[in-house]
Amino acid sequence: MFADVLCVTVVQAQDGWGVTYTATNICAIKGSTVNIRCTYTYPSNLRVQETFWHTQQTNTDPVDLKTQSEYSGRVQYQCEDKTCALTIRDLRETDSAEYKFRVITNEPTGKYSGSPGVTLSVRVNQFPTWIELTCHSSCQLPDHTSYVWYRNEQKAEGEKRYFHLQTVDPADRYYCAIKGPEGFPSSPVYAPKLLSVSVSPSAEIVEGSSLTLTCSSDANPAANYTWYKENQTLLSKEPQLIFSSIQSSDSGEYYCTAENDLGTSTKNMLIDTPQSFLSVSVSPSAEIVEGSSVTLTCSSDANPAANYTWYKENEESPKASGQTFTITDIRPEHSGKYYCEAQNTRGRHNTTSQLTVVAGCLYLQIHSCYFSCYFALYMEPTQLRV
Which of 57-71, 215-229, 265-279 shows the lowest mean pLDDT across its residues? 265-279
* 82-91, 204-213, 278-287, 358-367: segment of lowest average pLDDT: 358-367
Average pLDDT over residues 207-236: 86
Reply yes or no on whether the pLDDT at 152 is more than 70: yes
Q: Which residue has the higher pLDDT, 9 or 234?
A: 234
Assess whether pLDDT exceeds 60 at residue 32: yes
| Residue 263: pLDDT band with limits 50, 70, 90 | confident
**Least trusted range by pLDDT, from 123-132, 134-143, 357-366:** 357-366
CA distance 21 to 37: 6
Identify the three-state secondary structure at position 250. helix
Tell me what the mean pLDDT of segment 91-118 comes to: 91
Question: In percent, how much of the chain has pLDDT > 70?
Answer: 77
- Model confidence at 375, pLDDT cuts 50, 70, 90, reads very low
Q: Which tops the pLDDT comparison, 16 or 194?
A: 194
pLDDT of residue 38: 92
What pLDDT, on the 0 to 100 scale, is given for residue 363? 30
DSSP label at 183? T
pTM: 0.48
Closest to 376 (Cα-Cα) out of 293, 291, 289: 289
Q: Which DSSP state fits 60?
A: S
CB 99 within 8 A of CB 115: no
Nearest to 42 by CA among 103, 109, 83: 103
pLDDT at residue 288, rounded to an integer? 61
Q: Which of 127-131, 187-191, 263-267, 294-298 has the lowest mean pLDDT?
A: 127-131
290, 328 in Cβ contact below 8 A?
Answer: no
DSSP 315-371: --S-SEESSEEEE-S--GGG-EEEEEEEEETTEEEEEEEEEEEEEEEEEEESSSEEE
pLDDT at 96: 93
Task: Inform me whether the pLDDT recorded for 290 exceeds 90.
Answer: no
Among the listed ranges 67-71, 196-200, 297-301, which one has the minimum average pLDDT value? 297-301
* Weakest mean pLDDT among 29-33, 79-83, 286-290, 314-318: 286-290
Lowest mean pLDDT across 277-281, 304-308, 326-330: 277-281
Per the prediction, the chain carries an average pLDDT of: 78
Q: Phi/psi zone of residue 345: left (φ > 0), alpha (ψ -120 to 50 degrees), beta?
A: alpha
CB atoms closer than 10 angstroms to residue 293: 13
**95: confidence class by pLDDT, cuts 50, 70, 90:** very high
Higher-confidence residue: 118 or 318? Answer: 118
Confidence band, pLDDT 50/70/90 cuts, at residue 376? very low
Q: Label residue 366 by pLDDT band (50, 70, 90).
A: very low
The whole-angstrom separation of Cα 192 and Cα 222 is 8
Domains of the chain: 10-123 (2.60.40.10), 131-187 (no CATH), 193-271 (2.60.40.10), 277-385 (2.60.40.10)
Is the per-residue pLDDT at 352 higher than 70? no
pLDDT at 380: 41
At residue 324 the predicted structure's pLDDT band, cuts being 50, 70 and 90, is confident
Is residue 368 over pLDDT 50?
Answer: no
Q: Among 133-137, 241-245, 363-367, which stretch is predicted with the lowest mean pLDDT?
A: 363-367
pLDDT, average across residues 46-66: 85
Contact in structure between 110 and 102 (CB atoms under 8 Å):
no
Q: What is the DSSP letter of 65?
A: G
pLDDT tens, 202-218? 777 777 788 999 999 99
Name the band, by pLDDT with cuts 50, 70 and 90, for residue 225. Answer: very high
Whole-number percent of the chain with pLDDT over 90: 20
